[in-house]
Amino acid sequence: MRTIAIAKRVTKELLRDKRTLMLMFLAPIFILFLMKLVFSVNSTTDVKVATVNVNENLITQLDKTSHLTTKKYDSTKKAKEALSDQKVDAIVQSKGADFQVTYANIDASKTKAVKSAFKMSLLANSMQEMKRVLKPLGAQVSQPKIHQKYEYGNSDTNFFDKIVPILMGFFVFFFVFLISGMALLNERTSGTLNRLLATPVKRSEIVFGYMLSYGVLAILQTLLVVLFTVWMLKVEVVGSIFYVILINFVLALVALAFGILMSTFAKSEFQMMQFIPLIIVPQIFFSGIIPLDTMAKGVQAISYVLPLKYAGDALSGVVMSGDGFIKILPEIGILLLFLVILTILNIQGLKKYRKV
């Protein structure tokens, strides 16, 4: 009977906590809905190939490949600029009887698709040439050699190499969000924040004080994550490691502001944990780990309101393409905009506990 009485009491407390009930039942549905949107996509990725001095017959064979398109360039320089700007995924260049194929290699699946398509197209083109020129003789034509070059990594580059810059940003975001939110919530529930609000200190000063203190920790965490990824995991960074640290630090500040904001809506650490499916999980789906170009346009739009998407783009650009500050400036600017908006919301959110 005592067990039943305790169970009744706990059940009544749960029923009073509408927010917990809502998160318990709606969060799984929300995540499943997101997964439906994300994974109901094409299983193949569109690939773009630049061609330089390649004969029309071979280009025609390449264009017959499903999900592959070609674009002719007048010079190798222009083709390399397109490759650098990620407008194409590979360059096929004719050099006498042989071919030079240069892969961006940012996405190992696209590199593999280009390799397979080019070999099949080259074989089909050679068969046509043999029938046309040497039909009655049955002689053999020597196959052209394919010289391969990789702008990033090498032939062993795999899927992990593609997602590791994004994962780097994700772990920075996740742990800073969780720790900052939990810490401020603990100060609020313990009464420390209320005592602080009883002093003449301004709400903005409180928010900036918390952000400054946790910002120092965020710097240390960012340095640890980046240096471990680069030196211990042996991840190749084409660009400047300083830019990698800078992007992760700005993202950490955004996560810090996000965590503080969410803590104002949570009444307990349990409720703070329940925000993870709503805040963190969508960041994973739309960060670029799953190629956004395979999703429907309407689904892609969700990514534009998530900070990790911009951090992931900037980190991938620096790590894999060697992007400089000018190229990553738009993404950093958007992350700073997130930071400003979240900071203002945090200052306004403290009105809940003190009006001035």
Tell me the domains of the chain and their CATH numbers: 47-150 (3.40.1710.10), 158-352 (no CATH)
- In a 13 Å sphere around the CA of 119, the CA atoms on its Cβ side amount to 8
CA dihedral angle for residue 30, residue 32, residue 34, residue 38, rounded to 10 degrees: 180
Report yes or no: 160 and 109 within 8 Å, Cβ to Cβ: no
**Is the pLDDT score of 88 beyond 70?**
yes
- Confidence at residue 314, expressed as pLDDT on a 0 to 100 scale: 92
pLDDT tens digits along 242-301: 999 999 999 999 998 888 888 877 777 777 777 777 788 888 888 877 777 767 677 777
Distances (CA, A) of 174 to 149, 169, 186, 244: 37, 9, 18, 17
**Is the pLDDT score of 86 beyond 60?**
yes
Torsion sign, CA atoms 88, 97, 119, 62: positive
- Confidence at residue 246, expressed as pLDDT on a 0 to 100 scale: 92
**For residue 165, which amino acid is it?**
P
CA nearest to 112, candidates 64, 162, 72: 162
CA dihedral angle for residue 33, residue 35, residue 39, residue 41, rounded to 10 degrees: 40
- CA dist., res. 350 & res. 261, Å (int): 9
Phi-psi region of 322 (alpha: psi -120 to 50; beta: other; left: phi over 0): left
- CA dist., res. 12 & res. 224, Å (int): 45
Report yes or no: 145 and 152 within 8 Å, Cβ to Cβ: no
- Confidence at residue 234, expressed as pLDDT on a 0 to 100 scale: 79
Q: Which of 3-12, 163-172, 195-204, 305-314 has the highest mean pLDDT?
A: 305-314
Mean pLDDT to the nearest integer, 185-204: 75
pLDDT tens digits along 2-43: 667 766 766 776 677 666 666 666 666 766 676 666 666 555
Mean pLDDT to the nearest integer, 110-117: 86
- CA dist., res. 134 & res. 132, Å (int): 6
- Confidence at residue 210, expressed as pLDDT on a 0 to 100 scale: 79
Q: Which of 44-48, 77-81, 101-105, 249-253 has the lowest mean pLDDT?
A: 44-48
